[in-house]
Amino acid sequence: MFKILKRDMLTPNICKMVVSAPRIAKAALPGQFLIVLPGEEGERIPLTISDYDREEGTVTIVTQLVGASSAAIIAKEEGEFFRDVVGPLGNPSAFVHMDEEALKGQRYIFIAGGLGTAPVYPQAKWLHDRGVAVDVIIGARTKDLLIYTEELGSACDNLYLCTDDGSAGFHGVGTACLEKLVSEGKEYTQAVAIGPMIMMKFATLTCKKLQIPIDVSLNMLMVDGTGMCGACRVTVAGKTRFACVDGPEFNGYDVDFDEAMRRLGQYKAEEAEEKAKYVK
């Protein structure tokens, strides 16, 4: 049993939880994920690690209300328990394995959208703590949907907020903000985009135009998280890969985003139906 130590609603539909899991916290690295089982008969849910504290023995998860299973997680209160939490799973971000001296010569730009902002935090923090130059762009439809602004503000050199309606920061999407930064003289050696699939597709197209290498996270495709169900199949560089065991991060230039978006949208109607049953 894994105790929920803290619970905060970041938006009406996004919940942040700090969970006691000492062994997972000891081994976790940026880019990896967990499998959360809310109760005895609940569904196994893959969630990217949004933070970890080795000394406190905790991991942080951020969940968006989508269907019945995410609703079951969000319904848990502080002091209650998850039936099981398994991890860390998946491969850590590529920079974790880079030579320290080579890494210090890099200039990273993270493009975060919506819920994807949360898993950007441990990555930006890991790099920033090691003296790597890190800028972060956070995008949302409106200012009330911006999350992790305080955390990321302390984990990067420059934080840029973007809103579709212009209610905070740059008026426009994150890719337009990136183009503006580059036009003003900013230079980046590596980009990382985490967020909605369509956002990552256009972030990749923008980075290709700007000649910036980009990695993207396909964590939203995962179901069982072990490679057995096959639900997270995606074509990368012309080959079939599984987001959970081969990723979740891949070179954005190589990802067939159109195929991934078709797969992601297969069960939207069923998700909405189950959500309506669960959330009254």
Task: Check: CB of residue 33 under 8 Å from CB of residue 227.
Answer: no
CATH architecture type of domain 94-217: 3-Layer(aba) Sandwich (3.40)
Q: How confident is the model at residue 245 (pLDDT cuts 50, 70, 90)?
A: confident
pLDDT digits (tens, 9 = 90+) for 85-140: 999 999 999 999 998 888 988 999 999 998 999 999 999 999 999 999 999 999 99
Average pLDDT of 54-72? 91
| pLDDT attached to residue 270 | 53
* Predicted pLDDT at 139: 94
Residue 266 has pLDDT above 60, yes or no: no
Give the model's pLDDT for residue 216: 96
Residue 216: count other Cβ atoms within 10 Å of its Cβ: 30
Q: What would the pLDDT profile of 2-47 be if each residue is shown by its tens digit?
A: 999 999 999 999 999 999 999 999 999 999 999 999 888 778 888 9
Q: How confident is the prediction for the chain on average, in pLDDT?
A: 90
What pLDDT score does 152 carry?
Answer: 95
- Look at residue 231 in the predicted model and tell me its pLDDT: 79
Q: Does domain 2-89 have CATH number 2.40.30.10?
A: yes
d(CA 200, CA 202): 5
Q: Is the peptide bond before 248 cis (omega within 30 degrees of 0)?
A: yes
With a cut of 80, say whether residue 192 has pLDDT above it.
yes
225: pLDDT confidence band, cut at 50, 70 and 90? confident
What's the distance, Cα to Cα, between the start and end of the chain in Å?
28
Candidates 137, 128, 27, 45; CA nearest to 83 is 45
Q: Are 156 and 192 in contact (CB under 8 A)?
A: no
Asked if residue 116 lies in contact with residue 146, where contact means CB atoms within 8 angstroms, the answer is no
In this prediction, residue 228 has a pLDDT band, given cuts at 50, 70 and 90, of: confident
- Of 72-76, 98-102, 146-150, 198-202, which range is least confident? 98-102
Three-state DSSP class for residue 180? helix
The per-residue pLDDT for 273 is 57
What DSSP letter does each residue of 18-84 carry, written as one string?
A: EEE-HHHHHH--TT-EEEEE-STTPPPEEEE--EEETTTTEEEEEEE--SHHHHHHHT--TT-EESE
Query: Collapsing DSSP states into helix, strand and coil, what is residue 91?
Result: coil
User: What pLDDT is recorded for position 268?
Assistant: 59
**DSSP H helical ranges for 97-218:** 100-104, 117-129, 149-153, 174-183, 197-210
Q: What is the DSSP letter of 173?
A: -
Neighbouring C-alpha atoms within 13 Å toward the C-beta of 4: 22
Determine how β-strand 45-48 pairs with β-strand 33-37: antiparallel
Instruction: Locate 93 and state its tokens.
Output: 């971000």
Q: Reply yes or no on whether the pLDDT at 271 is more than 60.
A: no
Q: Domain ranges for the chain, please list them.
A: 2-89, 94-217
**Cα radius of gyration (the chain):** 18
What pTM did the predictor assign? 0.89
Mean pLDDT in residue range 255-277: 69
